[in-house]
Amino acid sequence: MNNAGRIALVVTGAVAALVSTALIVGGIAALWGDSQKDSDGYLTTKSQRFEADGRALATENLDVDLGDADWLAQTNDLGRLQITAESREEKPLFVGLARTSDVEDYLAGVPPSTVTDVDVSPFEADYERHGANRHPVSPEHADIWAASSHGRGEQAIDWEIEDGDWSIVVMNADGSLGVDADVSAGANIPFLDELGWSAVGSGAFALVLSVGLIALGIRRPRSVRTTAA
């Protein structure tokens, strides 16, 4: 084998090693996450404080796009999302999830704050504030929500994940200014265990293949002995 061929084997093996490492690490992370589920099967974040001086807190578009993974839809169970919120000022609170386009229409002309980024450690949320002055229709009467809850104390929604563009909204139940709430999120992904073992298995196979390719690439060619006639 010439030098070009050996270099190609080593490079291919190195790329395969990187891919296998990513698969194994991702698989281990999925298996660890599966082991951290609560008794209801949810992976849940700690409750954190979100606040805004406007009339609503809203997430950016949450794009649930199966794309090439439409095979997951055949399980009829893509998992569930749970959002829990409680007012820090003991006000009646509203939490809801709806199509992003419907949320944008509902909040048009209303001064909301959009959560654009969240740092976990230490926790810090970044907001984009929108200037407006319209008072919204009471959220409980807006017929747009795929899941919603309102009232005093802790409010929670539990939503079966569906394909599409979605946004989460937290606001005072009467639509008044100044939203200050502790919020946590959880996800129940039923195939996390299978996904983890599949990734680990695929990664292990790719790792063995990469080692073999690299070994072939760096192996010295055998010297050819010639005998005198």
Residues 125, 117: contact at Cβ < 8 Å?
yes
Q: Helix, strand, or coil here: 203?
A: helix
pLDDT digits (tens, 9 = 90+) for 77-102: 567 888 999 999 989 999 999 999 99
Across residues 192-203, what is the average pLDDT?
A: 63
Query: Alpha-carbon distance 115 to 140, whole Å?
Result: 22
**Which domains does the chain show, CATH number per domain?**
3-28+193-218 (no CATH), 39-189 (2.60.120.380)
Structure tokens, 91:
């006000």
* Residue 73 confidence (pLDDT) above 50: no
d(Cα 136, Cα 141) in Å, to the nearest integer?
10
pLDDT digits (tens, 9 = 90+) for 8-57: 666 776 777 777 777 677 666 655 655 666 667 666 778 889 988 888 99
Q: By C-alpha distance, which of 116, 121, 138, 120 is closest to 52?
A: 116
Who wins on pLDDT, 122 or 157? 157
- The distance in angstroms from the start CA to the end CA of the chain is 27
pTM flag (> 0.75): no
Q: Which residue has the higher pLDDT, 121 or 59?
A: 59
